[in-house]
Structure 1
Amino acid sequence: MADEWDGELRLIVRNLGDTINVYVQLNDRLVRNANAYYGLLDVNEPTLLFTLDLDKNIAGVFPLIAHFSGEIYAQKYDNIKSIWFDLPPGDFEPPTDHSSALAFLKTHLPGGFVQDPAYGLGFTKELRPIIYAVEKIEKVTRIAIGGKDPTRHEHSTFYFSDLDFFNLRMAFNRTTRKHQQESLIERTILAHNNVLHKVYPEHHALREPPYRPGTIYKLVGGEEASSTVLKGKDRTALLKTVVGNATAIADRDPKEFVQLQKDLELVSLDRLINSFQKSMAKNHNEGHWQKMLELNPFILSMVFGYPIVMVQSAASVGGGTIAGNGTKIADFLSQNSSSHNAALVEIKTPQTPVCGSTYRGGVWKPSNALMGAVVQVLDQRHKLTLTLPLHKQFSPQLSELQAYAIDCVIVVGKMPTDPSQISSFEMMRSQFKDVRIVTFDELFGKLLLLREMLTGERYVSPIEDDEQGEPDYLYQTDLDEDEDDPEFAAGED
């Protein structure tokens, strides 16, 4: 009887023959306070909590909000209104009152269900992701658990087979226990560091969480690891880990190791190509290009046609030491890695013209800048030939360097677009037997060719997107950031 109710939560059983409905009426004070706080009507009507269909031998719960809220008594989940399960086989005593209804919940609800009506029934917190997943299926409002039929979706109901639901629940439990154990380890380490280490650091070293196999695989997305973008310290830590395990990776996973090398080289090459292309479009000084080639000496190897070793950038070829103050400064001093023969490189900029004024009849003179660079590198070669024995005395690392026939290379300008200028330029540079002249766009073409040989596909420049409005800083490199450094511009004549 309502007038005998003392205001505590109660379950009201209504027997309709083959159907038994059990209603819940929440704590009167809780509901009254919630209604008053949220400006709702002062009512506390019993609401259907669960039902038993004795004819079909199934039961269903209707999860609801039972805590202090403006939606008290409303359904707990966004779309799922009820969860159904099989009743135990054979005869059992159906609930008839508050006490037997509570006993039914404790005895016959499947594992993974909330048994206390004060929490509104439904799945436990650990199994709540199941609700989130099912609710992503459009128009599903019921979950049914039971039987041997396969897990499936039909109309407004999502069906779990008994075995599938049991296995999923066990997997959830294992995950929960695992994280509880990991949490205990981390809390123990935190206590150690903030109590023992903090007070007695000389006796109790700082502790770090132990590494667990599979951690990196999970953190970087498992099978989707290739699309994971790492940031900050994570990138540095991963690189150090790969380097530290390089030998083990090569021994145990040789295919993956080779692919890793190839992928890293390709990423590095793409970054260099992108930076090179962007730099050609800007008015960078010679120091910028000198630094780029210093960081990527293999580019010069493609020019010489044989592997080189960088000996010194901004090298003094006329002073007492190869790195000291001298009368002649070469942008690069390098050597053939096999014969140790010396090679000199003079760097200009892509904006340096290679053709000067017309002479007559469509014939073009070489530019003053180009001819000056030719004379300059030849003079440097002459000085180095005379002074190399002296350099070796002061620089033991140069003991293998030889001046048999010093190679000279000038990297300058861009290939002209006018056919008559191209003709004059090609005829002119082909006549220099001791100096090789290469334009920046030819050097860029060698990089593209190298990439095509490695990948079998053509390079697609992202700069076209940049011209349509993509932020320029996406292609900035460390080279651009250093241009204000006074040491950076030291390579400019």
Structure 2
Amino acid sequence: MARFGAEPGERGSSEIRTTSDGITQVCFVPLSTPESGSPAASRLADGVKLLEISPSSGRLAIYPTDTRHWSDDFLGPKYSTIEKITLPVDLDYEYWDVHDVLENLPSGFTKDLEYGLGLAHEHDWLVRLIEEHTACIEMRFVDGGQTPAVDGETFTLGLAWFGALVAELRRIKSRGDHASLRVRRAYGHNQLAEYLRVEPVRYAYGRHVDSRFIAGAALDREEVTEEVVASLAEAVSSRVTEAARVAPARMVALQREVELANLDHLIEAYRVALDARHPEQWWQTFFEENIFALQLLFGGPTIFVDAQVAIGSGDNRPKGKKIADYLFQNSMTNNAALVEIKRPSTKLLKRRPYRARVYGVQSEISEALTQVLDQARELTRNELATKSRTGRTSWVTSSPRCFVVAGRASELDTHDKKKSFDLYREHLAGVQLVTYDEILEQLKNLRDFLAADRRAGSPAIS
């Protein structure tokens, strides 16, 4: 008999038996004798088997047991329906020790006989999850990375798969511990800041999604879902006038934080799209959904009027009419403006120089410029008819401004190409040519300006 738990207060000892066919069984002998006639006494009389090892088959069976003498389920199964956990074991047929076997159990298992074996306490929820959604009575571990599968009453999974799961759960716990520590330290700092004459600090959420979520939970801040955003927006909208009167600086800071977050999202989406080689129709939709990016073209107060506008006389059918990609108007003078877009992949310059160190413009660029100028001419001639097809009719065609968005500035990879391109577009009359990269750079500059303004002294939102 191998004793364990010899100190007072521990739960019991183990008894090792070997059957006639070479199977080793480890049974639990409680330190506290169950009350006569109790279910625990009956279980003890039958033998409380914790472990069964078969060296010849290379399998080990664990029978998770409740070893708490104060529990109603004392000496009974630890789990509701999972009665047995089996896994492969590599043993020298003649020389091996039970305690060595326990020590070599995979990470994530309880390795102390006194505590009834099974999965480690922090992973009990895994067993409960399996029990809730299956009728399994056995968890069967196999070598390798096999993904979990249910076969009748057996739940099978690979040891490597389980090991990876346990390792990631531990990493999440570590990230959670660090996130909680950051929140506690920041809170303590801010509570003492006034008395120590130091500046308060912002709560640091961390970069990893788990860390940010856990830090938010520690701060009692809900995970940001669409429902949470809708609730917050409704709450702010309903009291915005009063809030601006009571705390104008805070409202300005909040507005800036929202603008920065939206800009960051737009910049990232735009950057990714530039490298995706989307067709022109995709960009049509993108700019309609993010019209602010095009409004940066104008350098003044501009209102979006409509997209895919049919320009010309007659009825509302587009047949036989010019189709403008976008129609804008100056919000002060009401003067109309047209924007025509091509793809980012549209080439700006011809591949070979026309003369020494001088490059000509691709025909698709010159055709797009002519196209938008022709649209402006037709718009001036058919202003009233075209107005009837747009949702806004306050615009006028005093002198329509024209823009073409096409190509990538990154194509201009030599001094001669940059010079040729600038010579061409800076001497264009009546139309402005802008590359996709330049719009992205304007978005970045605006984001940096707002971020610098926030750092310069606006109150922080934390």
Q: Secondary structure at the match of 2:297?
A: helix
Q: What corresponds to 2:344 in structure 1?
A: 350
Give yes or no for contact 1:391–1:398 (8 Å, CA) kept in 2: no
Query: Quick check: 1:65 aligned with 2:70?
Result: yes
Q: What corresponds to 1:162 in structure 2?
A: none
Give yes or no for contact 2:244–2:251 (8 Å, CA) kept in 1: yes
Query: Quick check: 1:435 aligned with 2:431?
Result: yes
5+ residue gaps, structure 1, are 1-22, 42-62, 80-135, 137-218, 459-493
Shift in alpha-carbon separation, 1:452–1:321, aligned structure 2, 3 A: farther
Give yes or no for contact 1:330–1:377 (8 Å, CA) kept in 2: yes
**Counterpart-to-counterpart distance in 1, 2:315 and 2:338:** 16
Give the share of equivalent positions with the same residue, in percent.
28
Give yes or no for contact 1:319–1:328 (8 Å, CA) kept in 2: no
Q: What corresponds to 1:366 in structure 2?
A: 361
Matches within 5 A, 1:157-168: none
2:413 to 414, 417, 421: 417
Aligned residues: 272
Give yes or no for contact 2:312–2:322 (8 Å, CA) kept in 1: yes
Q: What corresponds to 1:281 in structure 2?
A: 275
Q: What corresponds to 2:298 in structure 1?
A: 304
Q: What corresponds to 1:109 in structure 2?
A: none
**Counterpart-to-counterpart distance in 1, 2:238 and 2:353:** 61
Q: What corresponds to 2:451 in structure 1?
A: 455
Give yes or no for contact 1:381–1:408 (8 Å, CA) kept in 2: yes
Q: Secondary structure at the match of 1:289?
A: helix
Shift in alpha-carbon separation, 1:224–1:262, aligned structure 2, 3 A: farther
1:32-84 CA-partner distances (Å, limit 9, x unpaired):
1242466269xxxxxxxxxxxxxxxxxxxxx9624332289x899x99xxxxx
Cα deviation for residue 284 of structure 1 reads 0.8
Cα deviation for residue 389 of structure 1 reads 2.8
Cα deviation for residue 349 of structure 1 reads 1.1
**Counterpart-to-counterpart distance in 2, 1:419 and 1:427:** 12
5+ residue gaps, structure 2, are 1-30, 51-67, 79-113, 122-176, 178-214, 455-462
Cα deviation for residue 224 of structure 1 reads 5.2
Q: Secondary structure at the match of 1:364?
A: coil
**Counterpart-to-counterpart distance in 2, 1:333 and 1:455:** 31
Give yes or no for contact 1:342–1:405 (8 Å, CA) kept in 2: yes
Query: Quick check: 1:377 aligned with 2:382?
Result: no
Q: What corresponds to 1:28 in structure 2?
A: 36
**Counterpart-to-counterpart distance in 2, 1:67 and 1:332:** 75
Matches within 5 A, 1:170-209: none
Q: Secondary structure at the match of 2:403?
A: strand
Give yes or no for contact 1:316–1:326 (8 Å, CA) kept in 2: no
The one-letter code matched in structure 2 to 1:293 is: F
Question: RMSD in angstroms over aligned alpha carbons?
Answer: 3.5
Q: What corresponds to 1:39 in structure 2?
A: 48
Cα deviation for residue 411 of structure 1 reads 0.6
Give yes or no for contact 1:319–1:325 (8 Å, CA) kept in 2: no
Give yes or no for contact 1:319–1:326 (8 Å, CA) kept in 2: no
Query: Quick check: 1:329 aligned with 2:309?
Result: no
Cα deviation for residue 262 of structure 1 reads 1.8
The one-letter code matched in structure 1 to 2:75 is: G
Q: What corresponds to 2:395 in structure 1?
A: 401
Q: Secondary structure at the match of 1:349?
A: coil
Cα deviation for residue 362 of structure 1 reads 1.9
1:71-128 CA-partner distances (Å, limit 9, x unpaired):
89x899x99xxxxxxxxxxxxxxxxxxxxxxxxxxxxxxxxxxxxxxxxxxxxxxxxx
Shift in alpha-carbon separation, 1:33–1:231, aligned structure 2, 3 A: farther
Cα deviation for residue 264 of structure 1 reads 1.7
Cα deviation for residue 397 of structure 1 reads 5.3
Q: Secondary structure at the match of 1:277?
A: helix
Q: Secondary structure at the match of 1:28?
A: coil
Cα deviation for residue 286 of structure 1 reads 1.4
Cα deviation for residue 339 of structure 1 reads 0.4
**Counterpart-to-counterpart distance in 2, 1:294 and 1:304:** 16
Cα deviation for residue 307 of structure 1 reads 1.8
Give yes or no for contact 1:414–1:441 (8 Å, CA) kept in 2: yes
Cα deviation for residue 244 of structure 1 reads 3.7
